[in-house]
Chains A and B, each alone.
Chain A
């Protein structure tokens, strides 16, 4: 039967956008997102070595982590008393990662605003770098969070989102893995480990691919005889 489009009067909607380039955020508001997008684009920039953290959709990774159990402080010891401690005693703030981000981002919005140059995303790249470096190296208070602690978490999560499996929302098209040559979730290098110095050129594999299937793996640079001509 041929499909017919049924139009209910009064309910006409514009057709869905062909391809929304970015997944919707769960945790960040628009202002948070603008900062994080601008910041990660400086932490791991797109350049002649390849796409950067923004192209890898690292902001989506960070957003989902903060919206989930980890962001809520899951599996973290969260009883007081809360004392500052030494750096070697590890993280001792009462904030969950989500709280830490929210407080910091709110304070940063006011902070960047103060300088009369508006939002981080509006600054020139060098100014953006200078601002990020000031968070990193000249710690100040961001709503109870020392800015270097926030910066470190942002940097750690940017690296995670760039190199984690794409199923978590970052590392889009496995660009992080392609940059360094990490093959991803393959399970078997038995035949290659003693082929010393071999160049492994097979495209990487994500957890999202070939679930449950057996991975037969051959380096493209030296296909086994049986695989030739296929």
Chain B
């Protein structure tokens, strides 16, 4: 029988980004909170110190900070007719494990989703008519507006110290920032990072073509900053070891640098690492959670009773936890009924490259995780989709994060894969090539979803999550259009050769795109098409809140984390100001 620990007010499943934010808000409200994190305890000192942290093989290739596939992975197939097989090593996306979560090894590219993301279905119908949305595309409104989230975006960005330049201050458009963005209440907490060479070349080319360039908003800080929690960040040194690595310099905003040192000192908070939560426990009527059961560091089962359960385990894991615990009806692709696992979406990337003359030293190794120059002219609904026949878009930018040579050694098409000719081409092009990012959205469809695998199990004997996904037709058309625009900019950057192919089917689990997986526990206003209400509270079990990119009904053109953080604060605010006063559903079913 499982050992039973004394009841607490709230339990956090996962102490990553979401867990840390909620832990801080709930302890501040006076609750006793236990945070259960499956991975290790870690901190900048002594775990991410130089020079050892600058090890491409260990961190980028062997993926030391990612979750251990031997313990838990997921299975994958393209369609519901196929047999899903386990992802035996992470390649396409890289979920993390350990205190602070995946965001410890993120890049820091920090964007707000926009009003036309939050009201995507309504907006498209208003602008183009209801026939515009393909029949199998299941995009939805989120049930929350950009204006409602603005204060939470603002708060999250000031916690992180985000470096950037506003393009819309309280409705006033500011050239040099992203003029397409929704109004923000104040400037970014810190100015943009320095502009590297390749980005400067992109800026000139894109400006000449009449686009609206701006510096990428970044959580690699441009200058020292002390956040409202009293924690200080330092200036990013452009070390080139950002994504997939911890930052030795205290320059990257992560829970370890912006919040955990404060939370861990709070007597209302108790952290337990090495604790893998197995399920959320429900009462007899299955309407209330009584707490969770986890496997402790030695494998022993422990029951942790709690009045409130926060699920913040990263997108796919959130969906899996609900499925394992029997909370909410699982989605059935045959009937379209059920909600948990529905509307899984990803990201639709392409990467044109500009090969320059040998006199142009791009110096790809002098980069941070999030610095580049970009345009949003083709993001979201910032351009007229009417004649184009697809939904969504992409931001386009010269955004290079590193020049680590195992992973980065570009060669022009036609170069042999090995031998002297390969070696000469690598030497010739390494320092003279720029990569353009076409960071594309991903619509939800009927066919892409998550459920439990019938065959494969994790190290605790529980079914793995099964992912059924392929790129929707709509997104291939979007990628073709936006990639062509990027290649045009590339051509006017003055390179000798520009390459660039749009995203194609089939989706390849062996190629990294992004770790921006969305959906599975989506938010909304209708319990028959969403898992959580607009406050991220489970429709079925009202003392369970599920928070993360799993809430996104579909994926937008931008990176998700700013929006995840804003949603976490939005939900925490509803819990503290409404739910705690009168526990129960915040929105009637």
| Residues of A near any B CB (own CB < 8 A) | 42-45, 47, 49-50, 52, 70, 73-79, 81, 83, 85-92, 129, 132, 136, 155, 158-160, 163-165, 168, 176-177, 179-190, 192-194, 196-200, 205, 207, 209-212, 215
B68 touches A75 (CB 8 A): yes
Residues of A within 8 A of B419 (CB): 42-45, 129
A198 touches B87 (CB 8 A): no
Residues of A within 8 A of B50 (CB): 185, 187, 215
Q: Pick the contact of A194: B62, B195, B237, B418 (CB < 8 A).
A: B195
User: With the chains together, A45 CA to B420 CA distance in Å?
Assistant: 6
Query: Is B325 engaged at the interface, CB distance under 8 Å to the other chain?
Result: no
How extensive is the interface on chain B, given as a class? 35 or more
22 contacts between A and B (CB under 8 A): A44-B419, A45-B419, A74-B70, A75-B69, A76-B89, A77-B73, A85-B85, A86-B506, A87-B508, A90-B509, A163-B56, A179-B427, A180-B426, A180-B430, A182-B404, A185-B50, A188-B237, A190-B194, A190-B235, A192-B366, A194-B196, A207-B54
A163 touches B423 (CB 8 A): no
Residues of A within 8 A of B195 (CB): 194
| Most chain A Cβ neighbours within 10 Å, of B62, B78, B455 | B62
B409 touches A163 (CB 8 A): yes
A200 touches B363 (CB 8 A): yes
B418 touches A180 (CB 8 A): no
- A70 nearest CB neighbor, chain B only: B62
A187 touches B197 (CB 8 A): no
User: With the chains together, A203 CA to B430 CA distance in Å?
Assistant: 17
User: Do A163 and B87 form a contact, CB below 8 Å, given A49-B427, A205-B51?
Assistant: no
Residues of B within 8 A of A88 (CB): 78, 506-510
Within 155-210 of B, Cβ neighbours of A (below 8 Å) are at 194-197, 200
Q: Pick the contact of A78: B57, B88, B367, B426 (CB < 8 A).
A: B88
Question: Which secondary structure dominates chain A's binding surface?
Answer: loop
Q: Closest CB-CB distance, B423 to chain A, in whole Å?
A: 6
**What 0/1 pattern do residues 49 to 84 of B give for CB contact below 8 A with A?**
111101111000111000011100100111000010
- A164 nearest CB neighbor, chain B only: B57
Query: Is B239 engaged at the interface, CB distance under 8 Å to the other chain?
Result: yes
Residues of B within 8 A of A129 (CB): 419
B238 touches A190 (CB 8 A): yes
| Residues of B near any A CB (own CB < 8 A) | 49-52, 54-57, 61-63, 68-70, 73, 76-78, 83, 85-89, 91, 194-197, 200, 235-240, 248-249, 360-361, 363, 365-367, 403-406, 409, 417-420, 422-424, 426-427, 430-431, 455-457, 506-510
Q: Pick the contact of B423: A86, A90, A179, A185 (CB < 8 A).
A: A179
Q: Closest CB-CB distance, A148 to chain B, in whole Å?
A: 12
- A159 nearest CB neighbor, chain B only: B406
Q: Pick the contact of A49: B87, B249, B423, B431 (CB < 8 A).
A: B423
Q: Closest CB-CB distance, A72 to chain B, in whole Å?
A: 11
B361 touches A200 (CB 8 A): yes
Residues of A within 8 A of B427 (CB): 49-50, 179-180
Residues of A within 8 A of B91 (CB): 90
Residues of B within 8 A of A49 (CB): 420, 423-424, 427
A193 touches B238 (CB 8 A): yes
Q: Pick the contact of A79: B62, B77, B423, B457 (CB < 8 A).
A: B457
A189 touches B237 (CB 8 A): yes
Q: Closest CB-CB distance, B428 to chain A, in whole Å?
A: 9
User: With the chains together, A158 CA to B73 CA distance in Å?
Assistant: 28
B365 touches A77 (CB 8 A): no
Given contacts A89-B76, A198-B361, 12 further A-B contacts (CB under 8 A): A45-B419, A49-B420, A70-B62, A77-B70, A77-B88, A85-B85, A90-B91, A91-B88, A180-B405, A182-B365, A188-B237, A190-B237
Residues of B within 8 A of A176 (CB): 405
User: With the chains together, A132 CA to B424 CA distance in Å?
Assistant: 20
- B49 nearest CB neighbor, chain A only: A212
Q: Closest CB-CB distance, A39 to chain B, in whole Å?
A: 10
A168 touches B57 (CB 8 A): yes
Residues of A within 8 A of B404 (CB): 182
